[in-house]
Structure 1
Amino acid sequence: HNIYTIARIVCFKDPILAAAQPELALTKPDGKPVTDANGLAWVNPYRQEVWEYLTELAEMAADLGFDEIQYDYVRFPVGSDADAADYGVDMEAYPKRQAIQDFLSYAGDRLHEKGCVVTADVFGTIIGSETDVQTVGQDYTALGQTVDAISPMVYPSHYANGVFGLKVPDAHPYETVSAAMQGSAEELQEIPEAERAVVRPWLQAFTATWVPGHISYNGTQIREQIQAVYDAGYEEWILWNATNRYSPDGLLAAGEEKQ
């Protein structure tokens, strides 16, 4: 039916693997697991066994016929638990960003043998922020030449008030996505085009009720974000709504042409 299929695989936030193989779980010095705000455990991104597990899962998906493997949560955790984590390595000699890059190279080599496209989801805030790069281990420029496509999550709701000179970025979908994508182009411009990942940003298809000053996201706001992607010189994008409820509002009907 000419449908392009993507298998999204969550990487290092994996309470199932952490419970089944406790030695792979990320822990604090007292031995307690590192968890997120919802109590979900993480595994250690430095462990080769975790890399192998995630690669084998992806190979199974490729064998089932998926065209692309999209690795999500391919990063280090954040928060007080994460700051206290014992990673079991000399992190000055082997920094977080190198571990993430090495994992994606390791998995990519194996998956390319199966003819599978390999992509990674990354925080949009790592674009232009060395602090965020060091925290989560996602180096936008480095990953832009490691995977086949990179998907920065440039949801306007994820930017703090004042970012890009906007009082409430969530209330300015076009301007926020436009600024983020311009930053993307600047960070990747030194990479030869033949070696540069396709940029396919995640766009906001939900209303962020928790953001003070937020606006409702409907067809107009979705269309504005999509147009910002096109205006920045990019051709691909993907929508996110955690409930998996999507409306055709904001999408063009077959035969319609984008601006």
Structure 2
Amino acid sequence: MIKQFTRMALLFLSLFIFASVASAAKVKGIYLTQYSLENTAFLNQLIKNAKAAGIDTFVVDLEIPSKRYRENVALLKENNIRYVARIVMFPDGGTHAAISNPDVWQKKYKLVKHAIDWGAKEIQLDYIRYKSSQKPSAENAKNIHNIIQWYKNKLSGQNIPLQVDVFGVASYGESKHIGQNIKMFSQSVDAICPMVYPSHYWPFQKHYKIPYETVYDSLTRIQKQFDGKMPMKMYAYIELSNYHYRMSRAQKLAYIKAQIKAVNDANADGWYAWSPHNRYENLFYVLQNQKKSAE
């Protein structure tokens, strides 16, 4: 009887440890255009390679609902890949007229409803900002936050978490031009997704050479805004190359490794890799070799 009890106790302990480790797992995701998702042959190849590399999430654009989109989202579920729907709010940044117009918000929310009906686990809002040429004002971030709150209220009743993408510059405090304030947004989001691409930081030549430091500093600066007590998840967007400079394959691999290490060292909750044409061969190579080294 005692031995049986001991075995049961050990079993429950092992299950508890496994659950704890699983819950602490870092998100690893890639971005897909709607075109890539609807290209079934390409999607199946991506799924195969992503699973082999340990990728667990696909962030997918939804611009125009279609039957093929719905069918191929089902392929993600069949392969245990988490589907996060990316909704572009104001392409190239919003104007005062668009940002203050609830009809625009409602139009984009129709896409959100489709994504949820088709199995989206989370909604990610991108380009939720003013144009970069906007005059600086403390009201800009408040206006953007009003939209975020509106979406959060819509999604809360459906138990769907809300993610918001922000520019890397917001890591260092409020951007009064584009209207992004991470501390303010934290009141209404479940996750923040800072786009900490080294190619977007000035001076470009400096940050091109120090991808680790650029990403790590940006992420830890966000944490410092909350005295290290993050009230939401943080998934960093990383890039696979630097568009300002020609890079060899070896340089690209090192560039990717440095950013992933920075995300891990900053203790973020995971990362999403960005490739505008959805070419992830180098990323898969890096991840698969990291798995082999760990075995």
Give the TM interval when normalised to the shorter protein.
Answer: 0.7 to 0.9
Alpha-carbon separation, structure 2, partners of 1:101 and 1:9:
16
CA distance in 2, matches of 1:184, 1:169: 18
Taking structure 1 as the reference length, the TM-score comes to: 0.73
The 2-side partners of 1:5 and 1:73 are apart by 19
Asked if 2 retains the 8 angstrom alpha-carbon contact of 1:218 and 1:250, the reply is no
**Stretches of structure 1 lacking an aligned partner (at least 5 in a row):** 16-24, 28-42, 84-90
Q: Which has the higher contact order (CA 8 A, sep 6+)?
A: 2
1:71 to 111, 125, 133: 125
When residues 252 and 10 of structure 1 are mapped into structure 2, their CA distance, relative to the original with a 3 A threshold, is same
Contact 1:59–1:111 (8 Å) recurs in 2? no
| Cα separation, 1, equivalents of 2:293 and 2:104 | 44
AA paired with 2:273? Answer: L
Which residue pairs with 1:36 in the alignment?
none
Q: Whole-Å Cα distance in 1 between the matches of residues 252 and 98 of structure 2? A: 38
The C-alpha deviation readout for 1:16-35, integer Å capped at 9, x for no partner, is xxxxxxxxx948xxxxxxxx
Aligned-pair CA distance for 1:159: 0.3
**2:199 is aligned with 1:144:** no
Counterpart of 2:270 (choices 236, 244, 259) is 236
- Indicate whether 1:173 and 2:211 are aligned: yes
SS at match of 1:151: strand
Amino acid in structure 2 at the alignment position of 1:184 = I
CA gap 1:53/1:257 in 2 versus in 1, 3 angstroms: farther
**Residue identity (%):** 29
Maintained 8 Å contact 1:104/1:147: yes
Deviation at 1:138, TM superposition (A): 0.7
Q: Where does residue 195 of structure 2 map in the other structure?
A: 153
Match of 1:59 in 2: 113
Question: Structure 1: which 4+ aligned runs deviate by more than 6 Å?
Answer: none
Greater fraction strand = 2
Aligned AA for 2:226? L
The structure in which a higher percent of residues are helix is 2
Provide TM-score, normalisation by structure 2: 0.65
Equivalent residue, structure 2, for 1:206: 241
SS of alignment partner, residue 233 of structure 1: coil
Rounded Cα–Cα distance in structure 2 between residues aligned with 1:111 and 1:206: 35
Q: How many residues align?
A: 212
Name the counterpart of 1:185: 223
Tell me how far 1:100 sits from its aligned partner: 1.0
Name the CA shift for 1:189/1:59 in 2 (closer, same or farther; >3 Å).
farther
One of 212, 218, 221 as aligned partner of 2:252 = 218
Q: Give the superposition deviation at 1:57.
A: 1.8
Contact 1:202 1:237 in 2 (8 A): yes
1:171-215 CA-to-partner distances (Å, cap 9, x unmatched) read: 21111111111111111337x55xx1100010011231x35xx65
When residues 257 and 235 of structure 1 are mapped into structure 2, their CA distance, relative to the original with a 3 A threshold, is: farther
Q: Which runs of 5+ in 2 are unaligned?
A: 1-78
- Counterpart residue identity of residue 202, structure 1: Y
Q: Given the alignment, which residue of 204, 229, 249 partners 2:285? A: 249
Aligned to 2:83: 5
Q: CA deviation at 1:108?
A: 1.3
> How large is the RMSD of aligned CA atoms in angstroms?
2.7
